[in-house]
Amino acid sequence: MRTDEVLFSFSLFSLVLYFQLCSTGDTLKAGQKITTNPLENLVSSNRTFELGFFPLSGSSSDVKSYYLGIWYHGLEPQTVVWVANRVKPVPDSSGVFRIAEDGNLVIEAVSTERYWSSKIEASSSTNRTVKLLESGNLVLMDDNLGRSNYTWQSFQHPTDTFLPGMKMGASLALTSWRNSTDPAPGNFTFTMAPEDERGSFVVQKQSQIYWDLDELDSNENSQVVFNFLGNTATRGTRSHNFSDQTIFTSKPYNYTKSRLLMNSSGELQFLKWDEHEWEKRWSGPADEYDIHDYCGSFGICNRNNHIGCKCLPGFVPIPEGELQGHGCVRKSTSCINTDVTFLNLTNIKVRNPDHEIFTETDAECQSFCISKCPLCQAYSYNRSTYSDRSPFTCNIWTHNLSSLVEEYDRGRDLSILVKISDIAPTAKTCEPCGTYEIPYPLSTGPNCGDLMYKFNCTKSTGQVNFMMPEGISYQVTRIEEDTRTFFIQADASYSCSLRRDQNNTPNFPFNVVDCIQDFGIVKFSWQPAPEPPCNRPMDCMNWPHSTCRETRCHCDLKYRWNNSIMSCTQEEPSREHLTHRLALILTVILGSMAILACITAFVLVRRKKKAHKLDRASTQIQESLYESEKRVKGLIGLGSLEEKDIEGIEVPCYTFASILAATDNFTDSYKLGRGGYGPVYKGTFPGGQDIAVKRLSSVSTQGLEEFKNEVILIAKLQHRNLVRLRGYCIKGDEKILLYEYMPNKSLDSFIFDRTRTSLLDWPIRFEIIVGIARGMLYLHQDSRLRVIHRDLKTSNILLDEEMNPKISDFGLAKIVGGKETEASTERVVGT
């Protein structure tokens, strides 16, 4: 028993001695050092944080560089919160961290080259000790000054992470990593805002403001972040009152294992450990509309819909530039009191004002702005004040307005100085409704526009609404006068399948031209306006050369209504001129008819000679599509197909009459577009099945062999990302292919359209890319036939109702043998 106790005591003593030799605990003294050996790392007293060297491999090299950093001890994956030598990593494992002879913390290598230093006042190193605190703060203490006085601390020199116990100050900044594998300073920096941006924080991108964080945020986690930045975790309940509305009441919060990260993509994240992983409790910016000056000067956006930036009423896009990011300019300027007015907007997010004064009333504030014209751009009058804001009631903006967002929960009521003639209502146009200009013939009131094109304007909110025939009202998100179109934000109850019925509604001058169910976006067009409405003769005074008759301003004699420019224009010149012109036209017509008769006779003679040849050619074409195993192999160019692959064409042959019925004799209203080989129509078979009909024109560059190649090839290939061939038809010179109908058309209709491209967010784009890749992998590797498409482009990528991509147009495709890895061509084809 005595021997066992001795052995146990000896073992325990050896174990303790081992740990003392292998680990320095949480303190490093003069003469001690830390190398890349993890057993020498410092670990805080409660084992929350760890200090040591860690390796990283660059994106372009497998060679590891070593950094000295602090991370959470024992958490996977490793979470680094501070890096010392982020600018200059140690290129190999020879790095050493120690207290230098001058009392500075340094990182050196065997070559004595110095990679980092704390750069403080020199002192004897024997008096200094470095310690990793439980808070994650690495501190350098001078024994002569006392343990509570820190000569240097990492909390005053952060990298990309803010930890509990730190306090945000004017000299403190978080700078992102360059990327996920490179701790070098990146493009984004989080810091306190400049003095002219009171009481807030900003994210800068390459020294330019990228996003600002508003303290009066109604989101609870946002307020937690503000308390975190101010080191106010123990503060009691507090509340803000803004515009007579209580926004948020904060409560004590447990910040254990919490951190604020400025990541390399420009997103500020508040993260908290939930025992298994880091949970993102809050982040910003929430979307692109939060980005500073996203729409440019006097441009505005709305995060509640998918439509991008637009100019305020009274403003136009800056010439020779896209609206987004470039902004707008005034249509005209004036400082005469009788010539100016104010565009009154509600719930607008705008940067802080340039000047603040106290006025008793809104009228005084307005007069002050007019007196400062042209410097004054806008004003905002606060009818009540609140404890943590200034007592001034009149806010003035003298610089161009930027970073404007409408329908903002904590926005201001903003009045923008404009010239009356730029926004005033007339007999032709209504006054703006909020940020929306109302072009003729659209009407929001009984005295402007055409009541047949009625919209509703809610002046208190600045929202425009559109009433559907069934009586349901939807919010308008954009109006485009040039294209006579507007967009509404529909809800889940709206069905895109009903749009054809709506287009046939009597006395309804609007047509649905596009509908995207997933985004709730419906695009309408309005029909050209008829003669303007009137109730009395004076109503037509604003419409020259017209007279009020039967509730409409009908054009006078020798004038006719031109709905493209919406005015009465003069008719053609005198009757004598018309008679002379008619005689000339008749002469040309008669001569043309004579020539046409000769040509017709010649053609009829030749057609009789070739009639039997055409019949024979048509028969041969039909037979070639159903011929034997040897013929199919010859067309495809393979000699090793299995019996199951050569059972003939696996799609039906339709009659030409059935296709004419499905497309209403190929009328233009059924046309979807035109490709290199001819027009494409939409057809509907009995039973409601929609199809896409590809009609090869007589001048098409696609010949009979390509046509047969596409019929046979698509019949043999079956994949979710390849378009399905429903059938084909051959009638004389007609060669027709029938495909499954793709309601969202081709990919290029989204990518190259300024409005629709915003509908393709990154998740949708990623799924489209993956789908195309799956289709190409199937063609090249996984299908029964190894196929090279040879004509892959955005117009040949079709999108179904769920935005799934499908590869189409196999007329130029080429099949290679099972073991071949390349193929050649004898002509220039494809893309």
The 10s digit of each residue's pLDDT in 660-681 is 999 999 998 888 887 767 789 9
Instruction: Check whether 83 has a pLDDT greater than 80.
Output: yes
Whether 705 has a pLDDT exceeding 50, the answer reads yes
Task: Kindly indicate whether the domain formed by 22-157 is annotated with CATH number 3.60.15.10.
Answer: no
Residue 622 has pLDDT above 60, yes or no: no
Mean pLDDT of the chain: 82
For the segment 387-440, what is each residue's pLDDT rounded down to a tens digit? 445 578 899 999 999 889 988 887 889 999 999 988 887 767 888 999 999 999
Question: 94-105 burial, b for 16+ CB within 10 Å, e for fewer?
Answer: ebbbbbbeebbb
pLDDT-based confidence at residue 794 (cuts at 50, 70, 90): confident
Q: Which of 274, 791, 800, 809 is catalytic?
A: 791
Specify whether the CB–CB gap between 691 and 798 falls below 8 A.
no
Please say whether the beta carbons of 376 and 303 come within 8 A.
Answer: no
Q: Is 328 exposed, middle or buried (0-12, 13-18, 19+ CB in 10 A)?
A: buried
Give the Cβ contact number of residue 640 at 10 Å: 8
Look at residue 20 in the predicted model and tell me its pLDDT.
45
pLDDT for 642: 43
**Would the pLDDT of 264 be above 80?**
yes
Q: Using a CB cutoff of 8 Å and minimum separation of 24, what contacts does 808-812 make?
A: 808/722, 808/723, 808/739, 809/675, 809/710, 810/709, 810/710, 810/713, 810/714, 810/717, 811/677, 811/702, 811/706, 811/707, 811/709, 811/710, 812/706
Strands 201-205 vs 299-301: parallel, antiparallel or unpaired: unpaired
Residue 824 — pLDDT band, cuts 50, 70, 90? Answer: low
- Mapped onto helix, strand or coil, the DSSP state of residue 362 is helix
Q: What is the pLDDT of residue 806?
A: 92
In this prediction, residue 322 carries a pLDDT of 56
Q: Residue 637: which region, alpha, beta or left (left: phi > 0; alpha: psi -120 to 50)?
A: left
In this structure, how many other beta carbons lie within 10 angstroms of the beta carbon of residue 790?
16
Give the per-residue pLDDT at 788: 84
| Residue 626 confidence (pLDDT) above 50 | no
pLDDT at residue 162, rounded to an integer = 97
**Alpha carbons 828 and 831: distance in angstroms, whole number:** 9
Give the DSSP per-residue string, 36-98: S-GGG-EE-TTS-EEEEEEEEE-TT---EEEEEEEEETT-SS--EEEESSSSS-BSSTT-EEE
Kindly indicate the confidence band of residue 784, based on its pLDDT and cuts at 50, 70 and 90: confident
Tokens matching residue 390 = 């200034």
Domain boundaries, the chain: 22-157, 185-286, 304-423, 425-529, 537-570, 572-624, 629-816
Q: What is the pLDDT of residues 315-360, one digit of tens each?
A: 998 876 555 557 899 998 888 878 899 999 999 999 889 999 999 9
pLDDT greater than 60 at residue 621: no
pLDDT at residue number 18:
45
In tens, the pLDDT along 48-81 reads 999 999 998 765 556 789 999 999 999 999 999 9
pLDDT in tens, 556-615: 988 999 888 888 998 776 566 667 778 888 888 988 898 988 898 888 888 777 665 655
Task: Report the distance separating Cα 724 and Cα 704, nearest Å.
Answer: 20
Structure token pair of residue 599: 């040509």
> What does the pLDDT read at residue 262?
97
Residue 798 has pLDDT above 60, yes or no: yes
Nearest to 719 by CA among 806, 790, 794: 806
Given a cut of 50, whether residue 645 has pLDDT beyond it is: no
More confident residue, 607 or 215: 607
> Residue 762: is its pLDDT beyond 60?
yes
Residue 9 reports pLDDT greater than 60:
no
Spell out the alpha helix ranges (H) of 488-574: 499-503
Q: Give pLDDT, residue 718.
A: 82
What average pLDDT score do residues 118-142 get? 89
Q: How confident is the model at residue 239 (pLDDT cuts 50, 70, 90)?
A: very low
Residue 649 pLDDT class (50, 70, 90 cuts): low
What is the pTM (predicted TM-score) of this model? Answer: 0.59
**Quick one: pLDDT at residue 88?**
95
**Above 90 in pLDDT, residue 706?**
no
Among the ranges given (374-388, 404-418, 521-535, 609-623), the one the predictor scored with the smallest mean pLDDT: 609-623
Q: How many Å apart are CA 210 and CA 403, to the nearest integer?
A: 10
* 807 has pLDDT over 50: yes
Can you tell me which residue has the tokens 């409408």? 406
Tell me which CATH code domain 629-816 carries: 1.10.510.10
User: In degrees rounded to 5, what are phi and psi of residue 4?
Assistant: -65, -40
- Whether the pLDDT of residue 548 is over 70: the answer is yes
Among candidate residues 197, 218, 225, 222, the one with its CA nearest the CA of residue 209: 197
Phi-psi region of 620 (alpha: psi -120 to 50; beta: other; left: phi over 0): alpha
Please compute the mean of the pLDDT values over residues 238-262 and round it to a whole number: 63
Would you state the pLDDT for residue 701? 54
Segment 463-512, tens digit of pLDDT: 999 988 878 889 999 899 889 999 998 887 777 776 656 666 777 899 88
With 50 as the cut, is the pLDDT of residue 639 above it? no
Helix (H, G, I), strand (E, B) or coil at 111: coil
In percent, the amount of the chain with pLDDT more than 70 equals: 80
Q: Place 757 in a pLDDT band, splitting at 50, 70 and 90.
A: confident
Triad 540, 545, 547: Cα angle to 5°: 45
Q: Is 354 tagged catalytic?
A: no
- The answer to whether the beta carbons of residues 763 and 769 sit under 8 Å apart is no
